[in-house]
A and B are shown apart, each in its own frame.
Chain A
């Protein structure tokens, strides 16, 4: 009796501590985002603004030339476009590849699969120099196209691996049946495998979008103005800017975090089971 009560108390204390550790930094970011910059630079620091304001959000979201809102809104647009296009391209190539790896195994293809995973894990510094010189030679620096292509080096192996692990769980008969029924391989994939694997496909799409949204290194190097700067680069710029408007920076951070956080909560189950199966099964 005594020990279980003590244990209960310990558990709730630990849970509360954990909740605080996770929530406080983000909460503070949010508080900063609704504070005026004068309030944030008053000493001693106060923990709640006397007059919460949405001014920071307004100045980011209402478009005006040559203001932070211009670069911010363009960056959001660029990131959305690049993330979706790179995801689409990668998924299109990943689906047949994953099918082939999963349903038509062979020793050479197995080695190729491991090679693909190894490439996924290579540090980007190993690839960035030639990619940069080629893009620069082709005049593609500072275009969406360059980042879309380059992001495929990250998204494609990842999506292939994720889909392959999922296709593995579909019984073998289910893709032989359509072949018998007169379908070719592409039809078998389209009409049978993909509908069955739709949750995994959704997870692959969402996680690819998250990866692309989060990317910074290539974005930093391959873009230099509002035409193609991504949101991560824009935030880094803001954070390093001469005018340190902490409220504005925080608001930008919050806004940049909203899409991935919503996406992640939305697909919490798939995310967790994807993580788990990825690490349990390899």
Chain B
């Protein structure tokens, strides 16, 4: 009979990857689903499981604390990604102009990107320090603040201050992607538009933005997916505090499972996070398929 050598080879080449992915991602994902319907505890999870069906989910969704964590995560994701997009595009437009020092400035963008997330978090934590932090000192010495404030100790400002730190680290990513896209826009398009009498504002909305929309939307979704996972920066800067005001869903799951040792309900929280992420990931898939086929 006809063999399908090529197909067989194709799958053979994939085997190491498939085995590893199934081992480190596929199996755990399914096991998480299983845990989420049990009352498993972190100590000896197999011994204590008792099947509870959707009880964990019902409790999770009716928990005000968890809903609050979802709200914090959403707030964090929307504001930080939104600001990153705006600053990123502005920086890209700036770097698309010709001026002395442009190359240096572009290279500098790598710095926040390459800085490990934990180091970034720690750096800003020191800067925000209520007693000896640079931010307080700077603002007071310039007369913009009367007295030292506890930026991360105040539930009203803590999350916003974390967002500032996150934006500082991640806006260069958006800027670099937007810049690369900008450089593919043909120059004569602008010249033609200028001849047609389009002003700067018009040129931006009619030519620049549509041209970079594709890569930008991919960056937007990617960043949002990342922002929804946020954990490191929260852990290092605030540990979810003060008064749970910076507790995001990942941190919530972490606490439920590893501080309170409730694996079962932790898993159900995790899967609710997955569900939210899945919508975003589906959006990302849609975008890359669309651009992949174009």
A interface residue numbers (CB < 8 A to B):
8, 11-12, 14-15, 18-19, 21-23, 25-26, 28-29, 32, 40-41, 43-45, 89, 92-94, 96-97, 99-101, 104, 106, 109, 112, 114, 116-119, 121-134, 137, 149-150, 152-153, 156-157, 160, 185, 210, 213-214, 216-217, 220-221, 231-232, 235-236, 238-240, 246, 249-250, 253, 256-257, 260-261, 263-265, 268, 271-273, 275-276, 278-282
Contact = CB atoms under 8 A, between A and B. Distances in A.
Contact of B177 (A99, A106, A231, A279): A279
Given A18-B105, A272-B176, A275-B177, A214 B117 contact: yes
Contacts of B13: 96-97, 99-100, 104, 185
B285 A129 contact: no
Interface residues of B, number: 105
Given A25-B123, A126-B274, A153-B25, A217 B177 contact: no
Interface stretch (B53-61, B107-115, B154-162): B107-115
A264 B99 contact: no
Interface string B111-126: 1111111110111111
Contact of A232 (B9, B232, B289): B232
Interface string B219-238: 10010010011011001100
B235 A282 contact: no
B17 A127 contact: no
B128 to A, nearest CB: 11
A256 B292 CA distance: 37
B143 to A, nearest CB: 13
A44 B147 CA distance: 12
Contact of B266 (A106, A116, A129, A156): A129
A127 B21 contact: no
A236 B118 contact: yes
B215 interface: yes
Interface SS majority for chain A:
helix
B215 A279 contact: yes
Given A22-B108, A239-B125, A210 B114 contact: yes
Question: Which 10 A-B pairs give the minimum distances between C-beta atoms?
Answer: A282-B288, A276-B180, A130-B31, A264-B114, A97-B17, A45-B137, A104-B10, A153-B24, A100-B13, A96-B13
B229 A123 contact: yes
B119 A235 contact: yes
A29 B177 contact: no
Contacts of B110: 261, 264-265, 268, 271
Interface SS majority for chain B:
helix
Contacts of B28: 126-131, 134
A239 to B, nearest CB: 4
Contacts of A281: 291-292
A126 B273 contact: yes
A25 B91 CA distance: 18
A198 B27 CA distance: 33
Interface in B1-25: 6-7, 9-11, 13-14, 16-18, 20-21, 23-25
Given A15-B94, A125-B270, A236-B122, A279 B108 contact: no
B9 A32 contact: no
A197 B289 CA distance: 24
Interface of B: 6-7, 9-11, 13-14, 16-18, 20-21, 23-29, 31-32, 35, 42, 45-46, 91, 94, 97, 99, 101-102, 105, 107-119, 121-127, 129, 131-132, 134, 137, 140-141, 168, 172-173, 176-177, 180-181, 184, 214-215, 218-219, 222, 225, 228-229, 231-232, 235-236, 239, 249-250, 253-254, 257-258, 263, 266-267, 269-271, 273-274, 277-278, 281, 284-285, 287-292
A93 B16 CA distance: 5
Given A32-B126, A214-B117, A282-B218, A123 B270 contact: yes
Contacts of B42: 132-133
A280 B228 CA distance: 23
Contacts of B31: 129-130, 133
Given A19-B105, A26-B123, A133 B137 contact: no
